Structure 1
Amino acid sequence: MIGKALRDPAPPPGAAPADDRLLQALRRMQGAPGRVVLRVEEAAPHRRKVARALLQEGALAAGGQVLDGPRGDLLLVGAEAGRAERLRRLLERLVGPAGTLTWSLEHDGAALRDYAEGAPAAAPCQAPAGPSLASLDGHLAGLDVTAFTRRTQGPNPGGRPAPRFLRLEPDRARLAGAMGLLGGDADLLDHAARHFAARLLAALARPEQARALLGAGGPARLHLPLPADLPTRPGAGAAPGTLVATLPLAAAADPAALEASRARLEAAGIGLELDGLDAESLALLDPRILPPVLLRLRWSAALAAPDARATLAALDPARIVLAGAEDAAAHRFAAAVGIVQVEGVAA
């Protein structure tokens, strides 16, 4: 592990003095999953100037710190892996493919320690299984939809087999694992989730895959991450109340567009749900300004605080779906405020 590798480093014979700033930066980021060190080898002054500017601009999006390396090279330490890979491709146009190198902070502790001590740049360890940026979409297309779909249900009272509602959504944790280092990039993970949401909708149109996803009997109501611009035809959609499109809370930032989406979905018999409310967002916005749709509220103990309770009291509890209710405290809270749509049982 990098923590052990960076502790009390012993410089290799004939090495240059250790770069304290680099060692300090590596110690701060030791073992960080999904974070890397991007190296650009020593280059002619005009190319070095451009490379530094690109690294500094890249750090604004990818995170990390731009430092001078011990051999006249340039480093971006602590960048998100996916964004660093995109930046590396850009830098390769400047210095050539052999002029860049990426180390994993999680896996390349020994190589980074030796390099910071002045040793030649060693090749990184074999990266965890996962695609390159160029092959990401092809890699995602080869993953099984059922295996990477998270099924969460709101059980029916009385113990009836079919759930009151079933939520199908991309399993972001599993997707991140299947993406290797790229799974640490929030933007790329969002891209992968959108890719799977589209495939999920297509899979439900195939009887065999639909049975695997929905289970025996099927739910009374199905929640899916449908796109806001889903093509619909009035009267040709689902039976009213059986299908709910889940959109992110950020969609409420454009009330006119959201209302247009709601009306279009409603005409096709599809309900609407906004996902993203939690204790923190309740402190920043008045949920009464949101349209009269279902609201997915993520459970945390902070919801039981007086201010959050007072804000929720202004809402019809029938509109609220409590997510992540996997402990007794969450269920006590739901009962206390009258929320009956509670999810938390992974089917």
Structure 2
Amino acid sequence: MSVSIDITGLPPERIVFEASPLAELCITLHVLSEPGHHPGPAGWANATAGALRQDLAERLCEADFLWRHAFSDLFMPYSGLRGGDGRTGRTLAEELDQLDRLDDDQFVTTALEFTCLAAYNTGAPSPLADRATRARALELATARGPRQLDFTERLLKDPASVRAWVRRLLEDCDDAFFAAVWREAEPVLAADTRHKTELLRRKGLSEALAEVSPAVTLEDGGGLIRIDKLTEGHTSAVDPAVGPGLTFVPSRFGWPHLMVLHRPGWRPVVHYPIGSPQLPPPASVELLKLRLEALAHPVRIQLCRSMARAPHTTGELAGILGISAPEVSRHLGVLKKAGLITARRRGRYVNYQLDVLAVARLSGEFLEGILR
């Protein structure tokens, strides 16, 4: 599973690395809502949440579906501006101005993204014009709570007032905590974009992508970027309807999330974390799937139990479990393909042992895989 970006024929100058204050504000709001996803800044999140004015905290709860579970593309408006160049703004105010320039259909459809995730790759009718989409938006908002329902009803009835309300909310967040966050983050993010831009210029896109994330690779002779994620999607950076362009946006607070904006009619954006913990490279989605499936069988769990205590041969394992040696070999093959056991030959015998470190990392790999 992956999201792919077609870059065939994309001019090199249309691939840019740029910081985005509005995208970083989105991540900080997410951290405040879901501190469990981000153990690193948990102290900052607790202190900041505790210092919020009550009215601001309540307003953040009202609109938190924009950043809690799914990252609304509203926080990357430069991608959707028709006739724009896909470039980020230098300041939060500039990017809020870009947000104001989205038309009502773009704003409402994107704000209510949680109602049409199943149609994200193909697009969905605007709830302002389509009765079925509107009814679905209200139904899902009802399931999320009275504040979300009220927000959705107001958004569908009077988009202009809600757009002004959202802008004031984000400006108040800037006053309350984000301005201080951005003063510290901006130099770090600017240094990263300079480094990646220079790497792109001197060594090429493949080298630059390798430093973005091991989950981002260049394929098809340089015509396709693939991002390893637990979702399927495809977009183009050379869509003539919106103009060529691909933007990479770094985030200081983003780990472990690696986000890809691939909404139809918008330029693609890859939002990637920097300064992540020094851990082994993340397992691919396919390897994660293999490992979870390998451990789902009761016989293989018993084999793992035995091999975790000491190395064993196939014959020894067959005797312990009371099954045939060929059956043990088949199960060992599955575990070996998943990278969960090691094999060492001693004379005529091969000893199999559980890779304890690989199994210990599995929970972290699973969490990173589903949050990526």
TM-score by structure 2 length?
A: 0.22
Q: Kindly indicate which of the two structures has a greater share of residues assigned to strand.
A: 1
Larger of the two Rg values belongs to structure = 1
Structure ranking higher on relative contact order (CA contacts 8 Å, 6+ apart):
2
Q: Kindly indicate which of the two structures has a greater share of residues assigned to helix.
A: 2
